[in-house]
């Protein structure tokens, strides 16, 4: 049986984010005072509320932090974990601000946290906790379509979001935009197709884009493309599972998978779907067919590979294990998985770190699409799908009659349709991930003193926020 190791934090997570911020800030030209305003958290709401569980009452500790109000609403997930604390929620809220800025999503950053281990509660108890937490947010105006819009994060998903929207609706019966108070909802309750896999798909698009450039790939001793690359994923939650699946489908070899209590490796490759089903049935990856069980769950981070994707929690690669990490690319699917000390060790080894504030922004990007859908009260693609399809159909007919040749069935299948919601979400996400990476690379190319992608990403994000503060005129 694999042992579960909890790595101890070296520093405050929020201080780590400030470290990244301060390092990047030296490359941003602005009026004194603006950077100081950006770095802090604007509002921190700490709640303790009683819930009736297991025949008695339990006091639950929870938070919502709004990091920046330079754009509204603020946006960010809600985490259910027994490790939740104020410092963590502040750090995650700050990361959301930079993330939204990088992908041009017009929101400030926020984050919520409820300090519970969701595995210890029944569904009914979780519903009670979620609804009570939501009413606490409503009480103090920390939720609303134009105020602050939560979403899923570690330990939460569609189910929790549906409880949140239902609770909010009960208090805002006359608000026609009430559905936009939270994203990541089930499709039947105002959600959008593609949101569930969005973060994992964004991770895939981002790394694929990095490796699409021959110069960038060659510098790592790799060829372009995903096919044949060895990949390790830590975390088989919503983000890790989908990321692994997209890499697998693109021909990558998944040589290692890890969960909170177990980890396995197989040089011949693991099918993530089989691993996911196995984990669901056995609550462990130990014993997965054809795989070697690793001694500790965190050992998966040390499996040799081309691409390592930590997709669980922060602080996973730290000064204790960084020197043993054997990968060419670390793709930060989780928020804050590499500490600043570990980053120095990895950069010295010429490992490329594709930073969280860019790489996992696919989730909030599609959340933005969901929010737009809720506010416009129309499904994406509804107005133009049939028109597009007719246009494509006519064009194919015209090509056939003017050339006298028939297009193949495959070509007709590919072209003879209009864009549906899922097509638009995927293409909007793909465009966002490609464009944002190239913006970050441009920042790096424009300033030779910036030598790593995280600094370039922070500079890109901060520069855009500075502009909106200057436009707001809060510093006359």
Q: Which residues are catalytic?
A: 111
Backbone angles phi, psi at 73, to 5 degrees: -75, 170
Nearer to ligand GLU, 153 or 343 (CB): 153
User: How far is 148 from 150, CA to CA, in rounded Å?
Assistant: 7
E strand or H helix at 150? strand 148-152
Nearer to ligand GLU, 151 or 275 (CB): 151
User: How far is 345 from 324, CA to CA, in rounded Å?
Assistant: 10
Count of alpha carbons within 13 angstroms of residue 392, beta-carbon side: 16
Nearer to ligand GLU, 153 or 306 (CB): 153
What's the closest the beta carbon of residue 389 comes to ligand GLU, in angstroms? 31
What's the closest the beta carbon of residue 131 comes to ligand GLU, in angstroms? 20
E strand or H helix at 17? helix 13-25
DSSP state of 207: H
Nearer to ligand GLU, 234 or 335 (CB): 335
What's the closest the beta carbon of residue 252 comes to ligand GLU, in angstroms? 23
Strands (E), 223-365: 230-234, 253-258, 263-265, 292-293, 307-310, 329-331, 352-354
Q: How far is CA 418 from CA 175, 390, 396, 427, in A?
A: 33, 8, 13, 13
Contact 63, 41 (CB under 8 A): no
What's the closest the beta carbon of residue 75 comes to ligand GLU, in angstroms? 4
Which residues would be at the binding site for ligand GLU (CB under 6 A)? 75-77, 151-153, 183, 335, 360, 363-364, 367
Q: How far is CA 7 from CA 184, 295, 338, 375, in A?
A: 30, 15, 12, 42
Nearer to ligand GLU, 35 or 425 (CB): 425
What's the closest the beta carbon of residue 274 comes to ligand GLU, in angstroms? 27
Query: Which residue's CB comes closest to ligand GLU?
Result: 77
């Amino acid at each position: 049986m694999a042992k579960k190791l909890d790595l101890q934090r070296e520093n405050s997570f929020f201080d780590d984010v400030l470290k990244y911020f301060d390092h990047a800030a030296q490359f941003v030209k602005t009026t004194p005072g603006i950077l100081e305003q950006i770095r802090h958290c604007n509002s921190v709401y700490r709640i303790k509320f009683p819930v009736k569980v297991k025949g008695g009452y339990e006091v639950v500790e929870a938070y919502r932090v709004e990091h920046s109000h330079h754009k509204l609403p603020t946006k960010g997930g809600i985490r259910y974990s027994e490790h939740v604390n104020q410092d963590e929620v502040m750090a995650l809220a700050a990361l959301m601000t930079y993330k939204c800025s990088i992908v041009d999503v017009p929101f400030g950053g926020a984050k919520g946290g409820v300090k519970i281990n969701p595995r210890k509660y029944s569904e009914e108890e979780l519903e009670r906790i979620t609804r009570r937490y939501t009413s606490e947010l409503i009480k103090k105006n920390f939720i609303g379509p134009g105020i602050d819009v939560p979403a899923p994060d570690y330990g939460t998903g569609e189910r929790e979001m549906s409880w949140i929207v239902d609770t909010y609706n009960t208090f805002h019966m006359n608000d026609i935009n009430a559905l936009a108070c939270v994203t990541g909802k089930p499709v039947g309750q105002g959600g959008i197709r593609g949101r569930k896999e969005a973060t994992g798909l964004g991770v895939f698009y981002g790394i694929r884009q990095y490796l699409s450039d021959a110069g960038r790939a060659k510098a790592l001793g790799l060829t372009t493309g995903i096919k044949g690359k060895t990949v390790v994923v830590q975390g088989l939650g919503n983000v890790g599972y989908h990321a692994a699946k997209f890499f697998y489908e693109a021909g990558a070899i998944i040589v290692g998978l890890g969960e909170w209590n177990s980890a396995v490796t197989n040089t011949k490759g693991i099918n993530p779907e089989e691993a996911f089903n196995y984990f669901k049935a056995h609550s462990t990856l130990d014993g997965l067919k054809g795989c070697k069980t690793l001694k500790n769950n965190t050992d998966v981070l040390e499996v040799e590979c081309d691409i390592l994707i930590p997709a669980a929690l922060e602080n996973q690669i730290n000064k204790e294990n960084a020197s043993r990490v054997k990968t060419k690319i670390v793709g930060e699917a989780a928020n804050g998985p590499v500490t600043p000390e570990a980053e120095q060790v990895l950069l010295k080894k010429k490992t490329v770190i594709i930073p969280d504030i860019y790489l996992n922004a696919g989730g909030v990007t599609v959340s933005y699409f969901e929010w737009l859908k809720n506010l416009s009260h129309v499904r994406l693609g509804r107005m133009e799908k049939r028109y597009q399809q007719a246009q494509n159909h006519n064009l194919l007919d015209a090509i056939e009659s003017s050339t006298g040749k028939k297009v193949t069935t495959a070509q007709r299948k590919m072209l003879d349709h209009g864009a549906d919601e899922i097509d638009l979400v995927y293409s909007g996400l793909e465009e966002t991930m490609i464009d944002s990476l190239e913006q970050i690379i441009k920042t790096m190319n424009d300033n030779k003193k910036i030598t790593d992608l995280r600094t370039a990403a922070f500079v890109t994000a901060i520069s855009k926020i500075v502009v909106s503060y200057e436009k707001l005129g809060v510093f006359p």
